Amino acid sequence: MRPNALRGHLDALILSVLERESLHGYAIMEALQARSGGALDLPTGTLYPALRRLERAGYVQSEWSTVSGRKRRTYQLTASGRGALADERSEWRDFAAVVEGVLRPGAAAGFA
């Protein structure tokens, strides 16, 4: 998958992973990779700025904990984040339908 293919969709992907459970950063990367069948191999330099942006927006909140003597920051979806995710899903369905209509072989204006 091309690196720029995530542009504009990364936030929705992260929010979707956090919808099921609270996770630390590395676990978010693993979940994205697993749920995408290995297609999404997100570098930390992409994930952590996105998590900070989502936290500033109020869509996720984080909490520090210590696991086996190591500090971990765990991220959790907020109520605002759930609303943002619902909006993102709706926008994605609309966008995907438009793109499918254009890319379908033989598609032309006015034809279904």
Domain ranges of the chain: 3-103
- pLDDT value at position 103? 92
Q: What is the pTM of this model?
A: 0.84
Instruction: Extract the runs of DSSP E, i.e. beta strands, from the chain.
Output: 23-24, 60-67, 70-77
Give the angle subtended at the CA of 56 by the CAs of 52 and 59, to the nearest 5°. 90
Is residue 67 very low, low, confident or very high in pLDDT (cuts 50, 70, 90)? confident
* 3-103 has CATH 1.10.10.10 classification: yes
Does residue 69 or residue 3 have the better pLDDT?
69
